[in-house]
Amino acid sequence: MAAPAPTTLHPFDQAIALELQPDGHWLGHTSPAYANMVGPYGGITAAQMLNAVLLHPQRLGDPLALTVNYAAGVADGPFVLQARPARTNRSTQHWVIELLQDGQSVATATAITAKRRQTWSSDEQTPPAGPPPSEVATLESAGLLAWLGCYEMKPIKGTMPTRWDGLGQDSLSQLWVRDKPARRLDFAALSALADVFFPRIFLRRAKRVPAGTVSMTVYFHADASQLEEVGAGYLLAQASAQAFRHGFFDQTAQLWSEDGALLVTTQQVVYYKE
């Protein structure tokens, strides 16, 4: 009898892995695969925090809403996650989450999980028209920030400027995107994908300035069966800013399936300098 084939965890699953501690908290580690300029990619931190809820033995239902507040840079190495169900109702549950390093709060979050029901449903925000993934070139990520190697990105519109001449017009980006290597979509992966856009101010100004996400909110419109249907397919991702003011701008974004179903709407507020 042949030995079983060695199984290797997907880099995303390695990155969000958490170990239950005797006190009910979770121990995690930053992942070199998702390293950003300084510290980890914000999307992987969001996924790690959500995973503390997903793995929790008292969880009711699937993620509906997640807000992650990036209070300080996450240092490379271990971290502790505390996830507390503040309130459990019949069909919704409210979570308070905190990520700590050396006993200091590094990120706070709240999440809501909910049982979904069959109801009248309709998407009002339909996907923008554009070419299918097969007709769009994939971004070459070699030599770029590590986390960019974890996503297959096919920029359609509003790509990273190639000329930093300060002559940007607007902040609208559209791209096809999925995990690299391809991976079946789930709620944790969606929460990370919500942060996949480069800072809107780079595009609006065609100027590189220091920028970093301060808070991100994700609404999960898809339920588990809809994510199963998406499988490892591409998502159509769109983002734009509404206002840049006094050191902070916002980003509002949508993620659709290839079939045009709106899976996630998300917004974030981002610090910038100059």
In the complex, the residues that contact a second copy under the rule CB under 8 A are 64-65, 67, 69, 71-72, 86-87, 89, 92, 94, 96, 98, 104-106, 108-110, 112, 114, 116-125, 170-171, 204-205, 214-215, 217, 219, 221-223, 240-248, 250, 252, 254, 262, 265, 267, 269, 271-274
Closest approach of a second copy to the CB of residue 93, in Å: 9
User: Rounded distance, CA 264 to CA 41, Å?
Assistant: 19
The least distance separating a second copy from the CB of residue 238, rounded to whole angstroms, comes to 11
Q: Cβ of residue 113: shortest distance to a second copy, in angstroms?
A: 11
If the CB atoms of residues 16 and 68 are measured against a second copy, the closer one turns out to be: 68
Phi, psi of 251 (to 5 degrees): -135, 130
* Least spacing, CB of residue 6 vs a second copy, in Å: 39
- 17 vs 71 by CB, closer to a second copy: 71
Instruction: Please identify, using beta-carbon distances, which residue of 98 and 179 lies nearer to a second copy.
Output: 98
State the Cα angle at 29 between 269 and 58, rounded to 5°: 80
Which residues share a beta bridge with 219?
Answer: 65, 265
Query: Closer to a second copy at the Cβ: 5 or 90?
Result: 90
β 78-88/248-257 pair status:
unpaired
Report how far residue 244's alpha carbon sits from residue 259's, in angstroms, rounded to the nearest whole number.
Answer: 33
- Residue closer to a second copy, measured from CB, 29 or 94: 94
d(CA 245, CA 177): 29
Retrieve residue 82's tokens. 């505390």
Dihedral, 152, 78, 17, 267 alpha carbons, nearest 10: -50
